[in-house]
Chains A and B, each alone.
Chain A
């Protein structure tokens, strides 16, 4: 092996690959420390998970299917809807130990609207009839006035003769 004056430096050069990860590790730790510091400075935001009130109830063919166990005893209302949605009933335990039912029935919206339109048509027709009768009255008056004028003139003519 020839003499190499830089041979002594070889170990130092070999150390470099080991030193590099240490520096990286230091930088990494520094970053972690900075991040932790920043997180600690941020106000802690408490996340409250709001529990949505759950509705108790189910669909039924008939309200006679409902048993006492279907109604919660904590005072909350249970909602029962008929399968055909012809009626909805809410039930809750009253403080004296009875179950109180409250029924909700659908309002016949279409029938109401139909009645309203019928009334509107009637009103419109009646207004038109009133207008026509008013015109007829005016015409009648005009005709009677016209009819009365010639008779007067005849009389007047007769008296002059």
Chain B
């Protein structure tokens, strides 16, 4: 999600955002997105955290760095 407005909308109403994601067939074709949605439905926060960590590791970054990047994006740092 590169659109900051989209991130803001997702933060304001996460449930509506997730519903939009689930309704998007293109997104649901992606096995990783499908797995994330499944984990969200099950309330598997540990699984989601693990996935986020894996994604960060593969992109040579850390969750902390990503968090800092997002916060600086919104002028919170």
If over half of A's interface residues share one DSSP class (helix, strand or loop), that class is named, otherwise mixed; here it is loop
**Footprint of A on B, CB under 8 Å?**
29-32, 34-35, 47, 50-55, 57-60
A68 touches B32 (CB 8 A): no
Residues A99 and B58 in contact, CB atoms below 8 Å apart: yes
22 intermolecular pairs with C-beta atoms under 8 Å apart: A67-B60, A68-B58, A69-B59, A74-B29, A74-B30, A75-B30, A75-B31, A93-B58, A94-B32, A95-B31, A95-B32, A96-B35, A96-B47, A96-B50, A96-B51, A96-B54, A97-B32, A97-B50, A97-B51, A97-B54, A97-B55, A98-B58
Determine if B54 and A98 form an interchain contact, defined as CB atoms under 8 angstroms apart.
yes
The residue in chain A whose Cβ has the minimal distance to the Cβ of B47 is A96
Given the complex of chains A and B, what is the CA–CA distance between A75 and B26 in angstroms? 12
Q: Is A142 an interface residue, CB under 8 A from the partner?
A: no
Q: Any chain B CB within 8 A of the CB of A27?
A: no
